[in-house]
Amino acid sequence: MITIVGSGKVGGAAALFTALRKVTDEILLLDVVQGLPQGEAMDLNHMLSEKGIDVNIRGSNDYSEMKGSDIVVVVAGSGRKPGMTRMDLLKINASIVKGVVENIKKFAKDAMIVPVTNPLDPMAYLTYKVSGFQKNRIFGMGNMLDLSRFIQFIHESTGYSRNSIRALVIGEHGENMLPLHRYSTVSGIPLTSLLSKQKADEIVQGTRQVAAKVIELKGATVHAPGNAISAIIEAVLRDTKQVIPVATYLDGEYGHSNVSIGVPVVLGKNGVEKILELDLDSNEKEWFAKGVESVKTAISGLEL
């Protein structure tokens, strides 16, 4: 069973895309708002019925119903508003996420946790510290979402099929993220040989800024994060050993410790089964370090 805590737009989208992947028989939507998860579950089940998909989605306001969950996705919290940075949400959401994690410890102590609430990396760190779970069981969604945006910019810039593009984004899920065009390819052809450095730098900057643009235009990002969550869930439940960038706790990797931030990992039935350490150049190391310092500044103000 998959539990999604937070039944707003992103939580609903995560349930939808997870159901469409047919990786679990049951999805529980949890929320403190009376009626919201129940109504969302009804709506989603009606859609799944027409498509002949036998995944049961149910809604509840009772945390005890998450018992037996394999994965708990934490989407609960205030969403990012136009003009806000992800870090603006830190104090608002830290207490909410802490309360959710305490309930996970109580009712789903064997589950893996996928933090999604912004600011993502500090919330992944908070989740790890408050839960007391082994670090392989906590993996935040952030860079998987950034990756989808980076792929779209590569597609727009080259005109080549999205299906041919393999790309990578690591670092902070925020303004200091590190889209790695040096590690990105189109059917194995290095992106650096297909685009000028100026163009590659443009799409990197575009990837860093596009979330704010979507929020400005429609008020929230919904479908891309929902899909990113479902991709992470599928990698775990199908034990695919897929290499995915997620926010996980570092203990010396990349030269940093006591911080949770996005890095490429092997994701399978045991959660984070291996952290892959890339050979970053001096500029990439500088950007990654900027993200680490941003996250560390944020977590220094958390009450754990």
Query: What tokens does 215 get?
Result: 């929020």
Give Dmax (Cα) for the chain: 54
* Phi, psi (rounded to 5 degrees) for 281: -80, 180
Residue 173 known to be catalytic? yes
One-letter amino acid of 166 = R
Query: What tokens does 217 get?
Result: 């235009």
Query: CA–CA distance from 144 to each of 1, 52, 89, 292 (Å)?
Result: 22, 29, 20, 18
Query: What tokens does 299 get?
Result: 């977590």
Identified catalytic residue from 46, 155, 173, 256:
173
The distance of Cα 22 from the centroid of its chain, to the nearest Å, equals 19
CA distance 170 to 173: 8
* Phi, psi (rounded to 5 degrees) for 207: -65, -40
Please identify every residue annotated as catalytic: 173
